[in-house]
Structure 1
């Protein structure tokens, strides 16, 4: 079954807006687990505008499900991840000032760099996922550099879903099927929501994990966190 990892960056953004520790990021993470989330995701950035380095260390000591740290592999990021040893690190090609991820790695051009980084994390028994667009050649290169999984960037799917969902999901279906042949695990994330998640999950039988933050936290404002997580979990169970 596809696992749901909740990205709690938005909780940290709200906390940082007023200072102090309200809402409590660690408490929310533990509540997410208690309500059925099978993983917690964070994406610390150099300016600490949401998740702070201290959050990463606190969460690592207290998370009981899978812990997934996303980020661009600077020396500081690599050092932190190797000290924390999460279940998974997801490498993204973001610049330090970027608002949010908006493209996947070119795993061909960046192959030598990524191979080195992946090897460092494997020395610490950390599963490595590379954030890519659903392009077969990028999946091939991700496998070649030693990645364990890829995370397919799903914003284009979400943007086109209401217009033509079959066409929107088609490249993801092809890429995921190819990854299964390669023995490469498949994750997905970015703009997945209660509106489009169930169909995506139905079409991708080899989907290991989805990482969802913004839409899920927005839904929780209206539905409550427990109900929201239950609804996202239900979307992942609806296999048609």
Structure 2
């Protein structure tokens, strides 16, 4: 059965909008854990627009489920990860002006740098995942640079304007999954998945973990975080 990782970034987004202490993403993570989340994901951005260093530090000390730290492959972030040693680091591309991560890493163009970063993180006992598009060239290069896992960017599938386009993107995801499994990498998925579109991806049957944030936090505003997590957990379980 696939695992559910709950991303609490958007709880921090609400907090930072007013510059106050609430709502606290650390508290949200604890509630998500109690509701059945198999892991917690946070993205510590270089501009600290939502998640702050203290959030990651407290989560590392208090979570009973794995902590997945999303971050750019920069010297600053690598140093933070090596100090805190989250259970997993997911390396993602990052632009200062983007509303959310816009696509997967270009592993082909940055292979040497990523290989060095991955090795350093792994030497500190951290499982490494690369957030990449369902592109076979990127899958192959991800294997070459030594990552443990990939997280397939599902954004194009989620944003597809027609059912036909959606199915075409789903086929790319399925092909990418099988290629990654063939070479022995773990496979996660995330970005844009919600309560309506996740079923087809779950039905592929081989994704190990789904990392979902925006749709869960959005639903939690209306029905509460406990119910929102439990409903998504049920969908991920198939």
* TM-score of the aligned structures, taking structure 1 as reference length: 0.95
The match for 2:180 is 179
Deviations along 1:167-206, one digit per CA (max 9) or x if unpaired, are: 2310000000111111011111110000011211102x22
| Structure 1 stretches of at least 4 aligned residues deviating more than 4 Å after TM superposition | none
Query: Is the 8 Å Cα contact of residues 14 and 23 (structure 1) preserved in structure 2?
Result: yes
Q: 1:98 to 1:160 in 2, by over 3 A?
A: closer
8 A contact 1:9–1:43 mirrored in 2:
yes
Q: Secondary structure of the equivalent of 1:215?
A: helix
Q: TM-score, normalised by structure 2?
A: 0.96
Residue 162 of structure 1: how far off its partner (Å): 5.2
Does the 8 Å CA contact 1:161/1:168 hold for their aligned counterparts?
Answer: no
**Counterpart contact for 1:132–1:152, Cα < 8 Å:** yes
For residues 108 and 192 of structure 1, what CA distance do their matches in structure 2 show? 26
Q: How many residues align?
A: 237
Residue of structure 1 equivalent to 2:189: 188
Give the match's secondary structure for 1:232: helix
- Asked if structure 1 preserves the Cα contact closer than 8 Å seen for 2:210 and 2:236, the reply is no
Cα pair 1:161 1:196 within 8 Å, conserved = no
**After the TM superposition, which residues 79-98 of structure 1 pair with which residues of structure 2 at under 5 Å, given as runs?**
79-98=79-98
Kindly indicate whether residue 138 of structure 2 is the aligned counterpart of residue 141 of structure 1.
no
Look up the match of 2:105: 105
What is the CA-CA distance between 1:235 and the residue it aligns to? Answer: 1.0
